[in-house]
Amino acid sequence: MLIGQEITVLGGGIGGLAVSLALARHGAQVTVLEQAPAITEVGAGIQISPNGWVVLKALGVAEAVAEQAPRSRAVRLRDFRRGAEVFSMALNDPAKPWHFVHRADLVDVLAAAAQGAGVTLRLGTRITAVTPEGEGARITLEDGREEAHGLTISADGLHSPARKVLNPRTRPFFTGQVAWRATIPQDGSLAPEAHVFMGPGRHLVRYPLRQGKLVNIVAVEERDGWVAEGWHHTDHPANLRRAFSDFCPEVKNLLARAEEVNLWGLFRHPVAVNWYQGGLALLGDAAHPTLPFLAQGANMALEDAWTLARCLSEEDLPEAALARYQALRRDRTARIVEAATDNATNYHLRPGPLRFAAHSALRLAARAAPQAVTNRYAWIHTHDVTA
């Protein structure tokens, strides 16, 4: 039982706010420590697939999110040079909704719901160190002060101090790929679909946000040069346009309107071996950072949040709850991280027999057995942690 139990959550992003809301609904007294001075508009678009949507529904916020993020209708894979469609996957099953959501809109909805449920947000709280201590954790703040907390959940991203403490030997490595991210004003004419333009060593994804008033761009390029990790680094739009200058006119015309872009290096992180120690636990990217090739980062964090809150509410001992949480989540997230890594290869085939054969097979499957390709990832999208 969690009624009256004090729990601290580190990080006011999607995973942190979702778990704080779920815990508060079980009666816990939750405090969220967030380093930003305000819950402000950050990031860009994310895709919420059915496995993440069921969590938003169970948390009671799906309707509020859907008001700003209508249902998606399809994902279309297209050739980079001509723009011709190679394969399309319809997303029209009413029981399995997909939504393209602006990250800031989802954070706003979750923050409002969490505060409405009694969660306390401590903003401007920058943490430099976290150490497991008894059934909780000791936290060191930027100004050197230390605080003792009870059960603590670290949902503060891939640079989480807690991740480094619980998994000191894990090291990421540069994948040889970089990604640009941008949002571009749009007139609302784009259909609610994700389009993936596949080229040699590169691909670009675009889909509309906020009722079509914005279009979200994620563009990935293979390169030898190392680029720093973290999507907040800025780059000149001309570099993005140059990298995709041989793509079809539709892509070039879209990128011509990009005024601000972010660039970051894509690093492969191992899934954490240890998700908890004492009263300190990892959640979301702190436990399993993933590459953006299956659009599952936010969805996995939502699944984590619901599962952790359920385990804590059903187990008498916190350590038993955290052990059960890790057992339920680690293998699934590791499999998703591996699948996301493999998917980059599918998008970046060079011209030649392999690319021709792969695209021909997709076109044939689209006509003969479209569900065969769709069902390849059914194990991800049909999973329901709330069931």
Active site residues: 207
DSSP 376: G
3-class DSSP state of 367: helix
Q: Which of 32, 104, 59 is nearest to 283 (CA)?
A: 32
Residue 96 identity: K
What does the alpha-carbon distance between residue 305 and residue 17 come to, in Å, rounded to a whole number? 9
DSSP 350: P
For 6, residues 6+ apart whose C-beta sits below 8 A from its C-beta are 28, 29, 31, 149, 150, 151
Residue 116 identity: G
What does the alpha-carbon distance between residue 235 and residue 17 come to, in Å, rounded to a whole number? 30
Helix or strand (DSSP H, E) at 53: helix 50-59
Residue 263 β-bridge partners? 180
Please, are residues 197 and 255 in contact by the beta-carbon 8 Å criterion?
A: no
Q: Which of 363, 221, 364, 301 is nearest to 51 (CA)?
A: 301
Cα-based angle 242, 203, 158 (whole degrees, multiple of 5): 100
Q: Which of 45, 18, 16 is nearest to 286 (CA)?
A: 16
Please, are residues 272 and 288 in contact by the beta-carbon 8 Å criterion?
A: yes
Residue with tokens 């305000």: 38
Please, are residues 344 and 291 in contact by the beta-carbon 8 Å criterion?
A: yes
- Where residue 88 falls (left for φ over 0; alpha for ψ -120 to 50; beta otherwise) is beta
Cα-based angle 7, 13, 14 (whole degrees, multiple of 5): 95
Which runs of E-coded beta strand occur in 251-343? 261-268, 276-277, 280-282
**By CB neighbour count within 10 A (0-12 exposed, 13-18 middle, 19+ buried), where does 35 fall?**
middle
